[in-house]
Structure 1
Amino acid sequence: MNREKIRLGIIYGGKSSEHEVSLRTALSVIKAVDAAKYEVIPVFVSLEGKWIRGEALTGQLPETIAPLRLTDGSTDKAEASAGKSLAKSAVASPFTLSQDVDVIFPVIHGPNGEDGTIQGLLELANLPYVGTGVMASAVGMDKWMMKTVFAQVGLPQVNYIGLLRSQWEKERDTTMDRIEQELGYPCFVKPANMGSSVGISKAKNRAELAQALELAARFDRRLIVEEFVKARELEIGVLGNEELVTSVVGEVIASKEFYDYEAKYKGAGTELQIPAQVPEHVAEEIAQIAKKAFQALDASGLSRVDFFWNEENDKLYINEVNTMPGFTPHSMYPLLFQAAGISYPELIDRLVRLAIERHADKQRNAVEAEGLD
């Protein structure tokens, strides 16, 4: 093993509806890293929660998603063959990440990936990892908590109602009455803890509201209902730990009612305009609010911050912070920084350096009270 190279572990897959998205992200990262700098160690998490480590990649990188579906030998020969060299040495038994890698890039999206759970595991293993820490990941994943934090620091948001699934199931009419009185129609209903627009619906009447709440409740016990504002959807990338850099502003122009899962990952006619055609003062305000939101969560590494801009009254609303945004070369976050002059491979390099830097800073924290007065 060449110790001059950084051993970069890529954890991907996961037990969520965004499993396939994670596979695409992992493949993109693995193909983009400089083989002269990195020895890539793929670690696959199956939909059943099984962790499987593939052999180190030192130059011959996979060309399709198929090799990234590591097998422990329990699948048929055809599937195992698709895994090629990755599958040949895949390890399903326990392995020690802290002895195998120098830094981790976790690209599991959604629950059990960007909600602080895997970050907590990596903290316990005392490993540097790309992206935001436990607290910020958990708050950033839970839209209800995120909005609470944003309100505390005075960031502009649309009106919303947070409720529990049990409330909806026990008091359906009362819940819908409140939503109608406080938010009106149309409104958006979302599971609080889910990414990639999974489980989100736009309700235009009471019947659609009931259907939307039922759908959202399938994915989480905490739900969010937001008022509708006629606005353009703008996004910006943030990069850094304490010294932050923002990308250009981009715009999502969805051909459907809203930017849903199909639009994000299957095209569906959605257009990404980079840079967005907005006045300079709007772009500047977006950058300022994005940094403030990033700091309010105590985020680190990377985040994509999404906004609504009502062009008629020139009012901005922060929508959410995505602490592990889509990260293929065709995803919004890398494209925004590419337009700002930072290429995809360079972006990966910077994120790895930021992870190592943040980990080193954490090692300065005292762990014992000895000698302290």
Structure 2
Amino acid sequence: MAFSQFTSEVYIYDAVRTPKGRVRRNGGTLSGVPPYELLAGLLRELTRRGLDPEAVGDTVIGTSTAAGDQGGDIARSAILWAGWPDTTPGGVVSRLCCSGFDAIGGAAARVAGGVEDLVVAGGVESMSRVPMLADTPAFAYDGQLQDRTGFVTIGVSADLTAADHGYTRGELDAYAVTSHQRSLAAPDSPSVIAVQADDKVLLTRDEGARADASIETFGQLPALFADDPSWARVARRLPDSVRPDGGLHTVATAPQLADGACAVVLGSRKAGDLLGLTPRGRILAAVQTAVRSPRLTAALAATGTALSRTGLTPGDLDVIEANESFAVSPLLLTREFDLDPATVNPRGGAVATGHPLGASGGCLLVNALDELEARSAEFGLLAIPGGLGLGAAIVITRN
């Protein structure tokens, strides 16, 4: 398990994101926007909001599928497209669903260690243009590697985890309905920056949330992973495990595919003072961890470590942004840490509005900051499980 506890203060000077655009077969709202433009639009917005690009020491961007339109260092491409200085460096990190967490945590560690005074971190994923597995990873196609490592489809991991912990199909469906309701009720945010193309506004709010979401409607949907062939590997690795009869997660309780980007300005107190920046918060700890596939529980381990490193208890947390990597993920985190459900994803989440993979870490950070500010509250937690047993957590504070 890798973690960073920042003894030197790391300030969040700004955090912005695009709305999340739903991926559709016939072309989603943001499908015509290249990922370098999704990200570049946020870099230009940061400049409009008072950031001096000349002061940025580095730019670190998380991208899960660094191929096609997202290959070849999309961070540097976005910097040049945005008109930032030619001397501004940029690079990409890839840790599947945890990529954005890696970018933010790594950038924070560099600020805390005195390597840089000001770093922009974030993520981008255009799943319309670069679908999952477009980079043909060995774990998805190499049968020998799959058999040795126990790789399974992440939806099978979600179903297995839900069954292990006693969740029913009805509980998962009910959670999804709540996510849709909260997403629809979420207030507009100045941190969510409209996406424009050719002087036309394409999207101002997250897409995907349905006003007609109901337990009855969701209950009629077929399970996605009941007949997935990777259940055979579960049986070999965990012979005592219980395969849920008929499956548990559906398209309603799985994270929606989405396009989006985020950008977070992290820096030292010295940088903020020199540039006249007002902090919105601080990063207290960042954790990356993993469990052996086929479990989908690494976010629990990451959360426990992040809390212990900061000296906080679950009761100290005012807002929790737990990525809805299937409905079981936030439900399990809420139960295991005895969290108040009202504080977990109060603005809805990925089963309603989508999971743009590498951008999700920054999207969760933006949501958490917005909600902490709205509540005049102090501590927030971000948590996410990912493919191949990965997981991550970040603890932030407004003070």
Alignment TM-score > 0.5, same fold? no
Q: TM-score, normalised by structure 2?
A: 0.28
Whose radius of gyration is greater, 1 or 2?
A: 1
Greater RCO, 1 or 2 (C-alpha within 8 Å, sep 6+): 2
Q: TM-score, normalised by structure 1?
A: 0.30
